[in-house]
């Protein structure tokens, strides 16, 4: 874990790191992906550590230690570097910022409360935007001389963020409440049961059920996005991204009778179509394509 002095040193080092132009960045990305060149990876990570620190600083208001936020941001940056595909034709910083943000958000939500605050896209959107939207709506109402009751406020927040009113009410309760001991008595009686006695047996594997549900949702989104592709584009995406051993652009070109560059263009076009399809339903997921 970073202490205060190490954080300062890391921040100063990051600010002095080189700024990579597009061509140098691409060469480093290829060197890491194709040859596992650790020097190239180290150079790529160092160049964008200032981006990770900048993102981490935006989440300080949630009460998490800055040292921990920087660590999570750094982990997100390393995941981005490991998964980045330079053939997609996007800058590494554009791709990395979503991994960094996702890592920090997950950390903040894990540590906000002993009670799990949420894991779905709508819950995350509410967690990080609800209070800001609520304050904005209340300011606008005050300026116009109107009064919003609780139910109307919840409805307006749901409309603004694009989620269900029930989700808004649940998140409002979680953000307004505080943690208490499960060993606290339910009543003042000497023989009163503790709150922990009311919990269901976790033998049913609720985490496994939730994970299965999330995976099923991801598969459904992928199927819907691939519905926008023609047969050749679907073939390229499956062979390049959905197989355990990804095919190279060259081998696909030989099979399809196309040049390596043409296969790369078709792949980029396919991802563009999938991204547009996802933007209509789950825009937060579309950014990862």
Pick from 96-110, 153-167, 194-208, 265-279: least confident: 194-208
The tens digit of pLDDT for each residue in 238-267 reads 888 777 777 888 889 898 899 989 998 998
Mean pLDDT of 42-71: 87
Same structural domain, 42 and 128: no
Confidence of residue 23 (pLDDT cuts 50, 70, 90): very high
Instruction: Please check whether residue 54 lies inside any domain of the structure.
Output: yes
Q: Which residue has 């005050």 as its token pair?
A: 142
Same structural domain, 81 and 147: no
8 A C-beta contact, residue 134 and residue 153:
yes
Would you state the structure tokens that stand for residue 222, as one six-digit string?
Answer: 């992928």
The tens digit of pLDDT for each residue in 203-229 reads 444 444 445 555 666 677 777 777 788
Instruction: Please check whether residue 36 lies inside any domain of the structure.
Output: yes
Residue 98 structural domain: 4-112
User: pLDDT at position 242, please?
Assistant: 79
Pick from 49, 29, 135, 42: nearest CA to 90:
29
Pick from 138-147, 193-202, 252-261: least confident: 193-202
Confidence of residue 40 (pLDDT cuts 50, 70, 90): very high
Mean pLDDT of 114-139: 71
* 142 pLDDT above the threshold of 50: yes
8 A C-beta contact, residue 126 and residue 168:
yes
Instruction: Please check whether residue 204 lies inside any domain of the structure.
Output: no
User: pLDDT at position 179, please?
Assistant: 46
Mean pLDDT of 99-112: 81
* 3 pLDDT above the threshold of 60: no
Would you state the structure tokens that stand for residue 114, as one six-digit string?
Answer: 């002993």
Would you state the structure tokens that stand for residue 3, as one six-digit string?
Answer: 């202490």
User: pLDDT at position 6, please?
Assistant: 55
Residues in CB range of 241: below 8 A, 6 or more apart = none
Instruction: Please check whether residue 202 lies inside any domain of the structure.
Output: no
Residues in CB range of 87: below 8 A, 6 or more apart = 249, 264, 267, 268
Same structural domain, 176 and 129: yes
Pick from 45-49, 77-81, 240-244: least confident: 240-244
User: pLDDT at position 124, please?
Assistant: 72
CA atoms within 13 A on the CB side of 234: 10
User: pLDDT at position 43, please?
Assistant: 92
Using alpha carbons, list the distances in angstroms from residue 197 to 113, 186, 200, 201, 205: 20, 10, 8, 10, 18
% of the chain beyond a pLDDT of 70: 72
Q: How many domains does the chain have?
A: 3
* 14 pLDDT above the threshold of 70: no
User: What pTM, to 2 d.p., does this model score?
Assistant: 0.45
Same structural domain, 192 and 272: no
Mean pLDDT of 164-190: 63
Report how far residue 144's alpha carbon sits from residue 148's, in angstroms, rounded to the nearest whole number. 11
User: pLDDT at position 217, please?
Assistant: 62
Instruction: Please check whether residue 241 lies inside any domain of the structure.
Output: yes
Instruction: Please check whether residue 91 lies inside any domain of the structure.
Output: yes
Report how far residue 201's alpha carbon sits from residue 204's, in angstroms, rounded to the nearest whole number. 7
Residue with the larger pLDDT of the pair 156 and 110: 156
Same structural domain, 35 and 104: yes
Domain-terminating residue out of 112, 131, 161? 112
Would you state the structure tokens that stand for residue 72, as one six-digit string?
Answer: 């999570």
| Mean pLDDT taken over the chain | 77
* 13 pLDDT above the threshold of 50: yes
Instruction: Please check whether residue 219 lies inside any domain of the structure.
Output: yes
Instruction: Please check whether residue 102 lies inside any domain of the structure.
Output: yes
Highest mean pLDDT among 70-74, 173-177, 187-191: 70-74
Helix (H) or strand (E) holding 90: none
Domain-terminating residue out of 196, 223, 241? 196
CB atoms within 10 A of CB 210: 13
Domain-terminating residue out of 196, 225, 253? 196
Q: What is the dihedral of CA 215, 219, 224, 229, to 10 degrees?
A: 140
What CATH number did the domain enclosing 52 receive? 1.20.120.1810
Length of the chain: 289
- Residues facing 185 on adjacent strands: 194
Report how far residue 154's alpha carbon sits from residue 171's, in angstroms, rounded to the nearest whole number. 10
Would you state the structure tokens that stand for residue 191, as one six-digit string?
Answer: 């023989």
8 A C-beta contact, residue 84 and residue 95:
yes
């Amino acid at each position: 874990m970073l202490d205060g002095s190490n954080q300062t040193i890391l921040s100063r080092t990051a600010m002095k790191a080189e700024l990579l132009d597009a061509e140098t960045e691409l060469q480093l990305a290829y060197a890491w992906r194709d040859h596992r060149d650790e020097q190239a990876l180290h150079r790529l990570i160092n160049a964008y550590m200032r981006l990770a620190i900048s993102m981490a600083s935006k989440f300080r208001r949630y009460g998490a230690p800055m040292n921990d936020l920087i660590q999570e941001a750094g982990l997100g940056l390393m995941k981005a570097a490991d998964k980045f595909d330079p053939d997609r034709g996007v800058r590494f910083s554009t791709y990395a910022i979503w991994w960094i943000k996702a890592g920090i958000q997950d950390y903040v939500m894990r540590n906000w409360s002993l009670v799990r605050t949420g894991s779905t896209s709508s819950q995350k959107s509410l967690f990080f935007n609800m209070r800001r939207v609520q304050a904005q709506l209340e300011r606008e109402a005050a300026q116009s001389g109107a009064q919003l009751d609780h139910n109307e406020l919840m409805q307006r927040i749901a409309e603004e963020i694009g989620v269900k009113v029930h989700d808004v009410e649940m998140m409002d309760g979680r953000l307004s409440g505080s943690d208490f001991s499960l060993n606290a008595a339910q009543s003042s009686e000497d023989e009163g049961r503790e709150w922990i006695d009311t919990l269901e047996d976790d033998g049913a594997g609720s985490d496994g059920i939730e994970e299965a549900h999330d995976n099923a949702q991801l598969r459904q989104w992928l199927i819907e996005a691939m519905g926008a592709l023609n047969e050749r584009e679907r073939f390229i995406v499956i062979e390049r991204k959905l197989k355990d051993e990804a095919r190279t652009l060259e081998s696909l070109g030989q099979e399809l009778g196309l040049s390596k560059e043409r296969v790369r263009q078709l792949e980029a076009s396919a991802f563009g179509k999938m991204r547009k399809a996802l933007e209509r339903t789950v825009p937060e997921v579309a950014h990862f394509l």
